[in-house]
Copies of this chain bind each other. A is one copy, B any other.
Amino acid sequence: MSRPAAVVLLSGGLDSATVLAIAASRGFDTYCLSFDYGQRHKAELAAAARVAAAQGASKHRIVHFDLAQFGGSALTDSQIAVPVEGLQPGIPVTYVPARNTVMLSLALAWAEVLGSRDVFIGVNALDYSGYPDCRPEYIAAFEAMANLATKAAVEGARLLIHTPLIDATKADIVRMGLGLGVDYSLTVSCYQADAEGQACGVCDACRLRRKGFAEAGLADPTRYRARD
């Protein structure tokens, strides 16, 4: 019997690379979806392609949509600097308006065409940046909406949004991924990675990633660029 298909949102970072390995370990044929949404850290797209290939994904697609034309985020607007002073209380300027909603919507579209009932996303409500669209109540509401949105739903298929990292710390995530053979040297988390995928080491994404390896007591394979 063929394995069921799952759509996996793959940013090319640490979390989504781990989620991809988890989806495969649960018996799914993986269809990876990445987005060129006008983000400044385009190196993550090359990382996503490397990760999908290394993990034997059935397919990897990159969908383009231009969130930069709306602006309103340090990740899509070059006029807003990426914070490098450490995590602060509240929702940071790296928040991208409605990003996970747009991404999950496109995953929903692809899942329906594939006949898949399973979407995986690496959101995480513990060691995270305070983004509202990473919270369990948000994911539950998206799933409820998705199950009214499609022809597949009307015909009785129930879509599940899998969030295997939702309660994990970054250290848990790193341990889980290494147990599944994830090669984290292929991944890029940094919000301002350079074209070669080298990380700044000081943005929130870098700090959370470093903390994960440190707390897990494991070697961090991230390539950091020389500081100014």
Contact = CB atoms under 8 A, between A and B. Distances in A.
Contacts of A135: 148
A113 B91 contact: no
Contacts of A106: 65, 98, 102
Copy number in this complex?
Answer: 2
Interface stretch (A66-74, A202-210, A220-228): A66-74
Interface of A: 61, 63-67, 69-72, 91, 95-102, 104-106, 108-110, 112-113, 132-133, 135, 137-138, 141-142, 144-146, 148-151, 153-154
A72 B113 contact: yes
A175 to B, nearest CB: 30
B69 A150 contact: no
Q: Looking at chain A's contact residues, is the secondary structure mostly helix, strand, loop, or mixed?
A: helix
A115 to B, nearest CB: 10
Contacts of A96: 109
B109 A132 contact: no
Given A64-B64, A132-B150, A144-B144, A97 B113 contact: yes
Contact of A145 (B63, B71, B141): B141
A61 B104 CA distance: 22
A133 B148 CA distance: 7
- Specify which of A66, A96, A97, A104 lies most central, judged by the most chain B CB atoms within 10 Å of its CB: A97
A148 B144 contact: no
A57 B164 CA distance: 44
A110 B106 CA distance: 17
B132 A151 contact: yes
B142 A154 contact: no
Given A71-B113, A98-B112, A132 B148 contact: yes
28 contacts: A61-B69, A63-B66, A64-B65, A65-B65, A70-B110, A72-B112, A97-B110, A97-B112, A97-B150, A97-B151, A98-B105, A98-B146, A99-B109, A101-B109, A102-B106, A104-B105, A132-B148, A132-B149, A132-B153, A132-B154, A133-B149, A135-B148, A138-B145, A141-B145, A141-B148, A141-B149, A142-B149, A144-B144
